[in-house]
Amino acid sequence: MRVLLTGHQGYLGTVMAPVLTAAGHEVVGLDSGLFADCVLGPRPADPSGHRVDLRDVTAEHVAGVDAVIHLAALSNDPLGSLAPDLTYDINHHASVRLARLAREAGVKRFLYASTCSVYGAAGGGDLVGEDAPLRPVTPYAESKVRVEDDLHALADGDFTPVYMRNATAFGYSPRLRADIVLNNLVGHALLSGEVLVLSDGTPGGRWCTPPTSRGPSRPR
């Protein structure tokens, strides 16, 4: 299939593109390039792609495409909370616009990178299933819930959106994210010899200011 992979120059997209190519798909990227030059290790061989802001996508970008995998987003809680309107513009409105354009162009498959953060503070300590109520607690998570709702309304016999409510990824990517929890713990442990928990550990939890001196009061 000819696959439009948005966010192909991000943490996950950089790893996903070669996997899709190896599986025999033709990958076309789409990314504004926020992290294009943030490379750790050898520079990855990115697929050809469009350097465009998601908010400026046109019908041309989805013409001739069989499937869209939509990863591009402002993708963490502190960033999303910094400018919630921007988060909703990019993560919600532009994503739904992309889906509409794809549907009009006859694209059948639309895989959307949602997040397990849509469950928010589920409480109770029980495992949650796919049908659990959604309780987003940050603009980032709320933006993902809104996209899921709007994609659902677009679904029909010819257009099949799928939501991937992924948990937090970890591990190496040529475009590494050091803000996500396990990478952050490992990075800090490697660099300082100590494991430092930056948040209070709850979903959408408060972020603590990293301590400037070593001592027993350091949050762990």
54 binds ligand NAD (CB under 6 A): yes
At 27, give phi and psi (nearest 5°).
-105, 130
Q: Is the CB of residue 121 less than 8 Å from the CB of residue 137?
A: yes
CA distances from 5 to 61, 122, 137, 152, 206 (A): 11, 31, 28, 20, 33
Smallest distance, ligand NAD to C-beta of residue 116, A = 7
Residues 162-191 close enough to bind ligand NAD by CB under 6 A: 166, 168-169, 177, 180
For ligand NAD, the nearest residue by Cβ is 10
Nearer to ligand NAD, 162 or 194 (CB): 162
At 70, give phi and psi (nearest 5°).
-105, 100
Residue selected from 3, 12, 67, 147 as contacting ligand NAD according to rule CB under 6 A: 12
**47-55, 125-133, 193-201, 211-219 -> range binding ligand NAD (CB under 6 A):** 47-55
For 143-179, letters b (16+ CB in 10 Å) and e give bbbbbbebbeeeeeeebebebebeeeeeeebbbbbee
Nearer to ligand NAD, 19 or 218 (CB): 19
Which string of x and - marks every residue 111-130 that binds ligand NAD (by CB under 6 A)? --x-x---------------
Helix (H) or strand (E) holding 208: none
Give the interface with ligand NAD as residue ranges (CB under 6 A): 7, 9-13, 31-35, 53-55, 71-75, 90, 113, 115, 166, 168-169, 177, 180
